[in-house]
Structure 1
Amino acid sequence: MHISFYKYQGAGNDFILIDNRAGTVKGLDKQSVAKICDRRFGIGGDGLMLLENEPGFDFKMVYYNADGNEGSMCGNGGRCIVAFAKHLGVITDTTKFLATDGVHHAKISETGNWVSLQMIDVATINKDGDAYVLNTGSPHYVALANNLEVKDVYNEGYAIRNNPTYKQDGINVNFVEKTDGGYFVRTFERGVENETYACGTGVTAVALAMAKHNHQTGAITTPVKVLGGDLNIRFDYDGSTFSNIFLEGPAELVFEGEIDI
């Protein structure tokens, strides 16, 4: 099957997007998705998304991890698919769409490259030793670190993701270091099984965990630097529930083309 695709990136987190409103793409198997996402034998990406019709919503986001498995929510992917929907003329500046973790609202700038995406509310943060564990649409492990720039994120993240506690379902592992302007974050992502340049649900998890760690409440804005650039997370925290959570950052079209599936 010959289809058109679009390559987007959000702070270095890159994705292959396909307009599937006509329902042309059906039954993508794990091997096909993994090959398309392969950086040597395919287009290359941290994941693949289908934009589909959904009654009552502007569109539906169907997300696959780079390993070919259908994934949980991807924050930067969500921002990129909003930019894609604007590019297609599906939306203008605001949207309501459906993802695997529920309903999301988003706003995109007039230039189309800055997206503010509302994430799900979070009421539970657990501890695993000194680390924080929470779900922001995907499960995350957040650990404070020193000298993060030179940290062996792949091996340390791999070990945590595959330890007896998390091996079966997997978990995304985020290492965070305080900076003058906010936080620096590096993430080992399940499904990609490697470090990525950014992780949207990951930086969101970090921002919430650090607010709890620092006993902050009220309206909070947290700038985060990742390998691929800068992101911003803002939210309200009343001491028990995180609400009005927005993940903000760039989402840009890299190139488009055609491929046989």
Structure 2
Amino acid sequence: MNLTFYKYQGTGNDFVIIDNRKSTLSKNNTKLFARLCDRKFGIGADGLMLLELPQNEDDDFTMVYFNADGNESTMCGNGGRCLVAFAAFLGVIDNTAVFTAIDGKHKAEIKNGLVHLQMQNVSKIEQYDSHLFLDTGSPHHVTMVNNLVSFDVTNVGREIRNGAPYFDKGSNVNFVEKESDGLFSVRTYERGVEDETLSCGTGVTAVALSMHKTKMTDKEEVSVKTPGGSLKVTFKETESGYEDIFLIGPAEQVFKGEITC
């Protein structure tokens, strides 16, 4: 079978995207998804997404996301932004979207070339002496470090991701350094990719909320620099946690191709 695919990237977080509204691919074909994401034997990507028909009347489409290891995963923020851009490219949406992902319903808007993706509310942030832990659609460990540019993200991240209390289930691991008030740099080790990625949308969201929670900033608009580019997170603090959370940044089509599978 010749399979048409699209390659997208959002601040260096790259994805294979397939229009699966005709159910061309089975969601159980995890070996194929892993091969397509392989950078030596396939297309190469941090993850793969299927754009599928909506599950609900008020949805425009459904997002199905797989990690680079081929397994269906939790929410991917940059992936969601790229899928919104892809839906606009296909004409499925204009500038606004409502879609369902594994963590529930999301709203999005494309404004001035940037995709604004509404993330799920966060009611719980666990604070420890060395780090914070929260779920922004995917689980995230957040810790402050010095000299981030030379920090050993891969080895330290792998150790934390596989260690207590995460073990097999794992957690994404974010290493953060403050640049100025409202501006932070982050490098992320992603489970499923099992390596550092150039950017992680749910990780950037977790960092912004964590920095506000620990009073590293009092701003409700936080800029976060990743190795692949800059993103913004806006939110509102309420008595029950954080709401009206938006992940904002670019999402670009890199190329379209065809592969035999």
Cα deviation for residue 211 of structure 1 reads 0.4
Q: Distance between the aligned counterparts of 2:216 and 2:203, measured in 1?
A: 20
Aligned position for 1:199: 200
Cα deviation for residue 216 of structure 1 reads 6.0
Q: Per the alignment, do residues 215 and 150 of structure 1 end up closer, same or farther by CA in structure 2, a change over 3 Å counting?
A: closer
Cα deviation for residue 215 of structure 1 reads 7.2
Greater displacement, 241-250 / 231-240 = 231-240
Once the two structures are superposed, residues 217-239 of structure 1 have per-residue CA deviations (whole angstroms, 9 ceiling, x without a partner) of 6x700000000010000000125
TM-score norm. by structure 2 comes to 0.96
Q: Distance between the aligned counterparts of 1:237 and 1:247, measured in 2?
A: 15
Q: Does 1:187 align with 2:191?
A: no
Q: Does 1:146 align with 2:142?
A: no
Q: Distance between the aligned counterparts of 1:127 and 1:259, measured in 2?
A: 46
Aligned position for 1:13: 13
Cα deviation for residue 4 of structure 1 reads 0.6
Cα deviation for residue 144 of structure 1 reads 0.5
Greater displacement, 81-90 / 119-128 = 119-128
Aligned position for 1:82: 84
Cα deviation for residue 44 of structure 1 reads 0.3
Q: Does 1:170 align with 2:170?
A: yes
Cα deviation for residue 24 of structure 1 reads 1.1
Cα deviation for residue 209 of structure 1 reads 0.6
Aligned position for 1:91: 93
Once the two structures are superposed, residues 41-62 of structure 1 have per-residue CA deviations (whole angstroms, 9 ceiling, x without a partner) of 1000000000000132100000
Aligned position for 1:245: 245
TM-score norm. by structure 1 comes to 0.96
AA paired with 1:192? V
AA paired with 1:81? L
Aligned position for 1:208: 209
Identical pairs, percent: 54
Q: Distance between the aligned counterparts of 1:32 and 1:91, measured in 2?
A: 28
Cα deviation for residue 81 of structure 1 reads 0.1
C-alpha RMSD of matched pairs (Å): 1.4
Greater displacement, 202-211 / 127-136 = 127-136
Q: Distance between the aligned counterparts of 2:53 and 2:164, measured in 1?
A: 39
Q: Distance between the aligned counterparts of 1:27 and 1:239, measured in 2?
A: 39
Structure 1 unaligned regions, length at least 5:
none
Cα deviation for residue 28 of structure 1 reads 3.9
Cα deviation for residue 32 of structure 1 reads 1.2
Once the two structures are superposed, residues 139-194 of structure 1 have per-residue CA deviations (whole angstroms, 9 ceiling, x without a partner) of 00000110000000000000000103111211000000000260000000000000
Q: Distance between the aligned counterparts of 1:5 and 1:151, measured in 2?
A: 35
Cα deviation for residue 3 of structure 1 reads 1.4
Aligned position for 2:259: 259
Structure 2 unaligned regions, length at least 5:
none
Q: Distance between the aligned counterparts of 1:191 and 1:215, measured in 2?
A: 30
